[in-house]
Amino acid sequence: MEAFLVSAGTIATAEMGDRTQLLALLLAARFRRPWPIAAGILVATLANHAAAGLIGVWFGRLLTPTLLNTIVGVSLLVMAIWTLIPDKLGEEKHAASGRRGVFLTTLICFFVAEIGDKTQIATLALAAAYANLFTVIAGTTLGMLIANVPAVFLGHVFAGRLPMAAIHRASAVIFALLGIVFLIRAAGG
């Protein structure tokens, strides 16, 4: 249960103000069809995080528990700093074609936007740290949905009212605390 809750919480906080959340807002504003967008986010996240999780499991098997906890701890501290840098949506994300359906457009855009994103890297680290890959992927996917589905359904109402700087700072603190926990685990052997 710890792996699931840490994964969901980590990703939900990391996603606040992230480029994929901005992408969710953009797609919702453009297509105004929240259900296919939410479904596209779900499928893209499952595919992307499963790939990251498999790499994380492979990577985790190569390392000793102490070294793995140290790497995950340092990675989470780096994520804390990265979270303080607001994301901007790149021009390549604006290329959603009208010829594709809303679901397929969302799936492709989200999958590509997640490549190398902090939530994908966090998924890789969490999969390396925890033994149950299914639980980590379920948690990270839930975290993405927690952050993005409200943006899809209610984003046009709340987009200008969210205190993004405060959300980024709170996310950074959570990442830093998790990083410290893993470093303490590493120090404990």
Q: Transcribe 3-63 into DSSP letters.
A: HHHHHHHHHHHHHTT-HHHHHHHHHHHHH--HHHHHHHHHHHHHHHHHHHHHHHHHHHHTS
Banded pLDDT at 77 (limits 50, 70, 90): confident
Residues 148 and 14: beta-carbon distance below 8 Å: no
Whether residue 38 has pLDDT greater than 90: yes
Residues 127 and 52: beta-carbon distance below 8 Å: yes
Whether residue 159 has pLDDT greater than 90: no
For residue 96, the model assigns a pLDDT of 44
User: In the numeric block, which tokens belong to residue 113?
Assistant: 């936007």
Mean pLDDT of all residues in the chain? 82
Q: Which position has the token pair 């590493």?
A: 186
Q: Structural domain tally of the chain?
A: 1
Residues 40 and 102: beta-carbon distance below 8 Å: yes
Cα–Cα distance, 95 to 105 (Å, whole number): 9
Please give the residue range of the domain that contains residue 21: 2-187
Average pLDDT over residues 64-81: 80
Cα–Cα distance, 175 to 13 (Å, whole number): 9
